[in-house]
Amino acid sequence: MTIRRTGISFVGVLLIGLALPGAAHSADRHVGYYYPHPDQVETYQARADVFADATAIRRIGFVTAITISRLQRPYAPSTAIFAKGKNAEKLIIVALRAGRLDTIYRVRAYLASLSAVARTTPAFQYAPADDNLTFFDLARMLGFEQITISDGATFTHQVKFQ
């Protein structure tokens, strides 16, 4: 077996890797798999406390309840919604059709519509009714740390909670 030297050192490869788009965000291993690199990363100060019993199982149950409600409609769902991360702390929403969730305005409108859906899930069955809470607040109450929403092609918006 012959080993050829290419003239590129380990340090050179490392520097090339750091220069690639998204390398600074390598901690987000979902970039490039579920969605492209986020166009914007927003920080949101939640107006509600995290539930004392906010667990990965509860977050996955919430996502499952929303998915079931979407699948019960007489037409195919326009998005896929799932929880990822070691403790299911990342909520990811990806459009399944072109022309959806491709601007910040469509994303905001979609998230506003999810507020009503979220309130009907078992996760919020015993939660105090507060019409002023947004989908971000509701997601944070369940212990999600971020939401990433994408058109699945070129547009991605990410919200991290404080």
The range of the structural domain enclosing residue 34 comes to: 10-161
Q: What is the 3-state secondary structure (H, E, C) of 77-136?
A: CCEEEEEECCCCCEEEEEECCCCCCCCHHHHHHHHHHHHHHHHCCHHHCCCCCCCCCCHH
Within a domain: residue 2? Answer: no
Is the entire prediction scored with pTM above 0.85?
Answer: no
What's the pLDDT at 6? 39
pLDDT digits (tens, 9 = 90+) for 35-65: 999 988 999 999 889 989 999 999 999 999 8
Within a domain: residue 52? Answer: yes
Within a domain: residue 150? Answer: yes
Within a domain: residue 3? Answer: no
Within a domain: residue 79? Answer: yes
How many structural domains does the chain have? 1
pLDDT digits (tens, 9 = 90+) for 85-139: 999 999 999 999 999 999 999 999 999 999 888 888 877 776 666 667 888 999 9
Within a domain: residue 145? Answer: yes
Within a domain: residue 1? Answer: no
Within a domain: residue 96? Answer: yes
